[in-house]
Amino acid sequence: MAEPARKQDDETQRPEGETGDGPVIEVHKLVTHYGERKILSDVDLKVKQGEVLVIMGGSGSGKSTLLNTLLGLLRPTSGTVRILGQDLHAITDLERTHLRQKMGVAFQGGALFSSMSVLENIMLPLREHTQLDIHTMRIMARLKLQVVNLSGFEDLMPAELSGGMIKRAAFARAVVMDPRILFCDEPSAGLDPVVASAIDELILNLREAMGMSIVVVTHELESAFRIADRICVLDKGKILIIGTVEEVKNCDNERVQNLLNRRTEEEILDPEEYLRRLTAAHD
């Protein structure tokens, strides 16, 4: 598919990392707090051009927090995030706006605009960032809808869609600008196996056809093993391991194995501590 005509001439300035060989995402010593609570500590991470990186980890381990920091929605306490060679949290708003046109995001809950129809939702990035005429935009949006198997639902409002349809529409919106980097938060959670596997297929195709770099947060082991070039396992805001699927599978860290084998973490508590926790709410 043709790259949509961008308003800003991409060719004039190409920071390092744009050229293909450098990492597209480079996270260095990232620390993020929510108020006083430290959520991420010293996260180091690289995503290479054309790579699918899967972020895994237990609930509350900080996956969404990491993603939000990578997207520039959350300011880190310290550390840097470089996207396509540019420091996301240090550049000007204008530069960030241009950078973000090369990033696509499919949020966990879809985040479709409830006041717009499905087609309008998908056309919005094109409308705001390109000068294509309306027919071309419609065609491009329809093509993306076809890719996620939603043709024929263009004119429905998000409220009229099922959960899985919302996810797929959000996916279509994320890729409509043919971004360099795609971020997906739980793309296949709650989808039926057929559609979930179609989404996996889609992710692999996008990587294949367009050389997109893709960061996926997921709980689904099967899908993670299938799509990942590398897997990053987060636990309590720290990275336990980053490596290829094989490396992670063979890792002898107990917590990693617990996560992979879906074992719950059994905390060893003495009875007194246990009682204290139970009654804490009434103190």
Partner 1 sequence: MAEAEGERQTLGGVDAFVARAKAFCERVGNATVSAISEVGLGAWLLFQVLFWIVMGRGRAQPVRIPATFERAMEVGIRALPIVTMMSVTVGMMLAIQGIYSLRIFGAEDQVTIGVAFSVAREFGPLITGILVAGRTGSSLAARIGTMRISQEIDALQVMGIDPIRFIVAPALIAMTIMVPLLTFWADVIMLAGAGWYVSMELGMSMGAYVDQIRELLRPTDVMHGIWKSLLFGVEITLVGVINGANVQGGAEGVGRMTTRSVVLSISAIIVTDMIFAFITTR
Ligand X SMILES: Nc1ncnc2c1ncn2[C@@H]1O[C@H](COP(=O)(O)OP(=O)(O)OP(=O)(O)O)[C@@H](O)[C@H]1O
Q: Which residues bind ligand X (CB under 6 A)?
A: 34, 39, 57, 59-65
60 neighbors 237 (Cβ within 8 angstroms): no
Its sign, for the CA torsion 258, 241, 182, 83, is positive
Q: What is the SS3 assignment for 171-188?
A: HHHHHCCCCCEEEEECCC
Of 12 and 59, CB closest to ligand X:
59
Q: Which of 15, 40, 160 is nearest to 96 (CA)?
A: 15
Give the nearest distance from C-beta 35 to ligand X in angstroms: 6
Residue 123: its H or E element: helix 118-129
Of 60 and 163, CB closest to ligand X:
60
168 binds partner 1 (CB under 8 A): no
**Of 59-98, which residues contact partner 1 (CB under 8 A)?**
68, 71-73, 93-94, 96-98
215 binds partner 1 (CB under 8 A): no
257 binds Mg ion (CB under 5 A): no
Q: Buried b / exposed e across 238-274, counting CB within 10 Å, b at 16+? A: ebbbbbebeebeebeeebbeebbeeeeeeeeeeeeee
Q: Is 168 helix (H, G, I), strand (E, B) or coil?
A: helix
Give the nearest distance from C-beta 67 to ligand X in angstroms: 8
44 binds partner 1 (CB under 8 A): no
**Of 112-141, which residues contact Mg ion (CB under 5 A)?**
none
Tokens of 195: 């559609």
Of 178 and 185, CB closest to ligand X:
185
Distances (CA, A) of 8 to 12, 24, 95, 129, 138: 9, 20, 11, 9, 22
Of 2 and 94, CB closest to partner 1:
94
> Quick one: which of 20, 109, 163, 193 contacts partner 1 (CB under 8 A)?
109
Cα dihedral value 256, 259, 263, 268, nearest 10: 60
Of 189 and 245, CB closest to ligand X:
189
**Spatial distance between the Cα atoms of 204 and 41, rounded to a whole number of angstroms:** 31
Of 161 and 233, CB closest to partner 1:
161
Query: What does 69 bind: Mg ion, partner 1, ligand X, none (CB cut-off 5 to 8 Å by kind)?
Result: none
Give the nearest distance from C-beta 27 to Mg ion in angstroms: 18
Give the nearest distance from C-beta 34 to partner 1 in angstroms: 12
Query: What does 61 bind: partner 1, Mg ion, ligand X, none (CB cut-off 5 to 8 Å by kind)?
Result: ligand X
> Quick one: which of 5, 8, 162, 249 contacts partner 1 (CB under 8 A)?
8
**Spatial distance between the Cα atoms of 104 and 88, rounded to a whole number of angstroms:** 15
Interface ranges with Mg ion (CB under 5 A): 64
